[in-house]
């Protein structure tokens, strides 16, 4: 004979445990970001300030599947801005071409991590995508 099992209350709403896991992931990510080299931390601050302007309801960073081209374009714009700022700080210094080649890749990686962190920020009480 089929017998109905009654679930305990704590098993009927498992989301608080899920949020705790998300919080620990974000804390780990933030801790590891503190160990970035000094240049990467400086670039991370620039990326964070730019993403603050894009942090609104309906932004492309909160799309379920963000467009790869938009992410690439945003990272290229950020890399160009960083390049202009560094050339403005020290106009006499000659920067090697290799630095600008890897800068785009580094900015794109840092941008993706920052978007991930913002998409999974549960401080407002819900997952944001």
Q: How many structural domains compose the chain?
A: 1
Model-level pTM greater than 0.75? no
Q: Please list the rounded mean pLDDT of every run of 10 residues in the chain (129 residues).
A: 62 55 77 89 92 89 91 94 87 75 90 88 51
Give domain status of residue 68, yes or no. Answer: yes
Give domain status of residue 31, yes or no. Answer: no
Give domain status of residue 50, yes or no. Answer: yes
The parent domain of residue 51 ranges over: 37-129
Give domain status of residue 10, yes or no. Answer: no
Cβ–Cβ contacts within 10 Å for residue 81, how many?
14
Q: What are the tens digits of pLDDT across the range 57-93?
A: 888 888 889 899 999 999 999 999 998 888 888 877 7
Sign of the Cα torsion 80, 85, 51, 53 reads negative
Give domain status of residue 56, yes or no. Answer: yes
Cα distances from 78 to residues 23, 56, 105, 123, in angstroms, run 28, 19, 11, 27
């Amino acid at each position: 004979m089929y017998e109905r099992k009654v679930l305990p209350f704590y098993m009927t709403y498992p989301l608080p445990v899920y949020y705790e896991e998300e919080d620990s992931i974000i804390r780990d990510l933030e801790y590891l970001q503190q160990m970035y080299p000094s240049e990467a931390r400086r670039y991370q601050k620039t990326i964070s300030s730019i993403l603050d302007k894009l942090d609104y309801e309906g932004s492309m960073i909160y799309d379920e599947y963000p467009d790869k081209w938009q992410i690439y374009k945003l990272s290229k714009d950020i890399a160009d801005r960083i390049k202009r700022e560094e050339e403005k700080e020290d106009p006499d210094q000659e920067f090697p071409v290799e630095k600008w080649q890897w800068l785009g890749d580094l900015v794109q990686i840092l941008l993706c991590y920052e978007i991930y962190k913002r998409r999974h920020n549960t401080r407002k009480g819900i997952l944001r995508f």
